[in-house]
Amino acid sequence: MSDLRLDATQLERYSRHVIMDEVGPEGQQRLLEGSVLVVGAGGLGSPAIQYLAAAGVGRVGIVDDDVVERSNLQRQIVHADGDVGTPKVESAASYVRALNPDIDVETYETRLTSETIAGIAGDYDIVLDASDNFATRYLLNDYCALTGTALSHGAIYRFEGQITTFTNGSLAAEDESNRERPCYRCLFPEAPEPGTVPDCATTGVLGVLPGTVGCVQATEVVKYLLGTGDLLKGRLLMYDAMDMSFETIEIRRNPDCPVCGDSSAIDSVGEVSYDGTCQLSQAE
């Protein structure tokens, strides 16, 4: 870490962090020097982007290829009515710049592919998956698992959400047992058949639900960058808004997993076709 150099404005802005023993000026400097790539500026990405920027994570990348629609505004709170028709990455970046001038925002108005992901995600400390489709989720998992990049995963459906963190051996303090942590494919080896899981445009989603899930993801990212607390590695946090209940289940690494198992079937995402069920077969 470089020499501490919080100025008077930063000391005031982050004062509630600085006075905490678990953060302090050193931890705040670590956040300011940290970077996160948020994939998706929608329901999950909105609260995550807001709180990561407010916390002082110094470089925030935002990936999304969509534009703001009025139907988004019930849950995608980084956008406003005046942003309708604007690319989501532009709307989200404008919000961040207005909230915290310390933050360097980088925007990518595109959909990630196996050809582009390395050039976008390769320079970030951690990736936050706020995507809404299985192809992107599996692409992010495979890339992060193969490159040893930490990944915060979140997903929502109607009244329910799930969150976990895959460190992928990226923590300096991880011992051999911690490197045995699973990846997303250990939990879900392949995506469901197309059309079998309806999206929120078909089934709806409780507007406040992604706020809870996205905030938990942001919390995991902040803890990861600070190097403090117990991350959700090897654990899946399940949230049911109707019952207002949380349940944590253990995720075990699958030794036969084709990505993180004992004998990996692929060396790069370029060998995989991310369509249909995202099976790990050789790309045509």
Catalytic residues: 200
What is the dihedral sign for C-alpha 160, 156, 201, 76? positive
Report the C-alpha gap between 127 and 141 in whole angstroms.
10
Report the C-alpha gap between 32 and 239 in whole angstroms.
30
For residue 104, give every residue at least 6 positions away whose Cβ sits within 8 Å of its Cβ, in sequence order, or none.
Answer: 58, 59, 60
Which residue has tokens 């935002």? 62
| Token pair listed for 156 | 């929502």
Report the C-alpha gap between 134 and 153 in whole angstroms.
12
Strand partners, 238: 162, 247
